[in-house]
Amino acid sequence: MNGFFDIPSDLQHSYGGLIAIHLQEALVPVLVGLLLALPIGLLCVHYDWIYGPVLWTSTVLYAIPSIAFFVVLIDYTGLSQLTVMIPLCLYSLVVLVPAVVDGIRSVPEETNAAASAMGIGLARRYLQVQLPIAVPAIMAGLRVAVASSISLVSVGALIGNQGGLGNLLTTAQLYGRPRLAVTSVVTTAALAIVIDALLVLLRRVLTPWEPPSGGAAGRSGAATTAEDAATRTPEGAS
């Protein structure tokens, strides 16, 4: 492990510093992407006809290489982290918008009917009923978006050392120190795994209402009749 944490001084960051920058550049765009995807997804569910065009647009954006984005953005945002984060944010939408849409659509019809029959308005219904029930689908999308964002950040090394751990790759080439490349790749992978584990944990915390092991227990009528009989009051038991 000798030299694993030994980072050349011209990167202007320690090993820990590079990790911090990498995480920031990877996670902030996904977070912003999520904030965009929530209203966009809702609109797509509400107005079915815009979902197609929205999906198409996000797929096209996803197909544009980040280098192309950099070339355009450098004129406006310079050699900054922002130039790296804007394309990452747009990329995340290709996963997050469908995740939000699927999540909202996973709300059972009778749940929506019950909500509206109880006089729960549209905004309240979205925030208090549909979004919480959409959490599993959204978290699944978030895991994919975060993992891909963590790996994509490294490309930022191409525009003046804005690639977090990716900068180690260019440095490795420059100084002929392949071990730096190993450090970069191993650390990025470790980051992705740790963050993913945290997301899984977060999802557990947010969804105590989910049947264990992904719904095998089912919602309706799975439990026994005997259990039912047990809860019936004496009057009901004749």
> Interface with other proteins by CB under 8 A: which residues?
108, 110-111, 113-121, 129, 132-133, 135, 207-211, 215, 217-225, 227-229, 231-233, 235-238
Nearer to other proteins, 2 or 224 (CB): 224
Nearer to other proteins, 68 or 229 (CB): 229
- 3-state SS, the chain, equals CCCCCCCCHHHCCCHHHHHHHHHHHHHHHHHHHHHHHHHHHHHHHHCHHHHHHHHHHHHHHHHCCHHHHHHHHHHHHCCCHHHHHHHHHHHHHHHHHHHHHHHHHCCCHHHHHHHHHCCCCHHHHHHHHHHHHHHHHHHHHHHHHHHHHHHHHHHHHHCCCCCHHHHHHHHHHHHCCHHHHHHHHHHHHHHHHHHHHHHHHHHHHHCCCCCHHHHCCCCCCCCCHHHHHHHCCHHHHC
Nearer to other proteins, 63 or 123 (CB): 123
CB of 126 vs other proteins, minimal distance in Å: 13
CB of 139 vs other proteins, minimal distance in Å: 13
CB of 219 vs other proteins, minimal distance in Å: 5
CB of 41 vs other proteins, minimal distance in Å: 18
Nearer to other proteins, 122 or 197 (CB): 122
CB of 221 vs other proteins, minimal distance in Å: 3
Nearer to other proteins, 1 or 222 (CB): 222
